[in-house]
Amino acid sequence: MQHGKYRFIVGFLVLPLALYAVFVIWPFIQSIYYSFTDWTGLSPDFKMVGFDNYTRMLKDDIFWKSLQHSVLLVLLLPLVTLGLALFFAFMLNVGGRRRKNAAVSGVRGSSFYKIAYFFPQVLSIVIVALLFQFAFNPRDGMLNSTLEGIGLGSIQPDWLGDPSLALVCVMSVLVWSTVGFFVVLFSAGMASIPKDFYEAALLDGANRFTTFFKITLPLLWDTVQSGWVYMGILALGVEAFTAVQVMTVGPGGPDYSTTVLPLYVYQTAFRDGQAGYATTIGVGLLIVTMAFAAIVMRLGRRDRLEF
């Protein structure tokens, strides 16, 4: 009986695992292989160069700038996005006024607010980046036009042209486009928490601040941890690449102030024709991503709470 069960399980898993090996594992192995070559990406001729690409990467100032920007996004983007999402979700689901029939309730019209928060998520990141590129235009963009309209015409930053502001602008766009997804996700989690927990805490004299940190956050911790990993991978992946590629000058400028690792991989491979070196940077990006996920999962490990 047990032997038949295992054959049944293997029969279901063999095809998905084969597809995963062909389309995921094998490209990773190829990338690591090409990182030891001088392949241009176009010619079938290349030769092995050993660790020369890795030595070059460690001495590459642009690589270290890109790594610094990517790490900054990994640290700040999940913190800001998840923090705002938790705050909005808590206010929508628990932050309403006390009513006669229920001690704890959400705000009126919470369903509409959830739709409004989630709306940016249905837009492509390319569309969002283009819209904000127009908004950040220093001449006739929405932000500087608003400043001029309220009498602050002398304060009109060159948002995407200022090296000290450009990366902040990109991060704000990523926060705006993703926070709604987590508002809805956390709202679903909070809706499953029994209201009796909140009502008992309020009867014992706890305030909303206390109930958030003593009830809501511990019971949502697994969801928050998963969201943190997801946001970190997003900051190191296609979302950050697309926003920088579409919005910034260069792209990646000015003066490499917004260059992130995925963009540098793309530019090295397709603009400079150095696919071998680009895969080396890609291997570095893989190591950073796996290290981030491992650190978050390790630091966020705690006893599972059930209710």
Which pLDDT belongs to residue 173? 94
User: 170, 172, 188, 187: which is closest to 81 by C-alpha?
Assistant: 172
Cα–Cα distance, 132 to 218 (Å, whole number): 36
Question: What is the model's pLDDT at position 48?
Answer: 92
Q: Give the pLDDT score at 210.
A: 84
Residues 6+ apart with CB under 8 A from 185: 85, 223, 227
| pLDDT for residue 96 | 60
In which residue are the tokens 């006893």 written? 303
**Number of domains, the chain:** 1
208-265 pLDDT, tens digit each: 788 888 888 888 888 898 888 889 888 888 889 999 999 998 889 888 999 999 999 9
Task: Please name which of 28, 23, 20 lies closest in space to residue 289, comparing C-alpha atoms.
Answer: 28
- Measured CA to CA, the distance from residue 291 to residue 271 in angstroms comes to 29
Q: For residue 24, tell me if it sits in a domain.
A: no
> What is d(CA 227, CA 82) in angstroms, rounded to the nearest whole number?
8
The answer to whether 244 and 263 have CB atoms below 8 angstroms apart is yes
90 in a structural domain: yes
* Domain contains 156: yes
The CATH number of whichever domain residue 114 belongs to comes to 1.10.3720.10
In a domain, residue 294? The reply is: yes
What pTM was computed for the model?
A: 0.86
In the numeric block, the tokens 């004299």 are attached to: 205
Show the domain range for 115: 60-299
Instruction: Classify the C-alpha dihedral 202-204-205-207 as positive or negative.
Output: negative
Does residue 127 fall inside a structural domain? Answer: yes
Task: Supply φ then ψ for residue 236, to 5 degrees.
Answer: -100, 0
Q: Tell me, what's the pLDDT at 166?
A: 93
Answer yes or no: is 158 within a domain. Answer: yes
pLDDT at 243: 93
How does pLDDT run across 260-279, given as a tens digit for each residue?
A: 999 999 999 999 999 999 99
pLDDT at 58: 93
- What is the distance between the alpha carbons of residues 15 and 12, in angstroms, rounded to a whole number? 7
Question: From CA 265, how far away is CA 252, in angstroms rounded?
Answer: 12
Peptide bond into 194 cis (omega under 30): no
Does some domain include residue 33? no
Look at residue 2 and give its three-state secondary structure.
helix
Amino acid 295 reads I
Is 106 a member of any domain?
A: yes
pLDDT at 306: 57
Which segments in the chain show pLDDT lower than 70?
1-4, 95-106, 300-307
Among candidate residues 134, 104, 105, 131, the one with its CA nearest the CA of residue 119 = 131
- Residue 262: is the preceding peptide bond cis (ω within 30°)? no
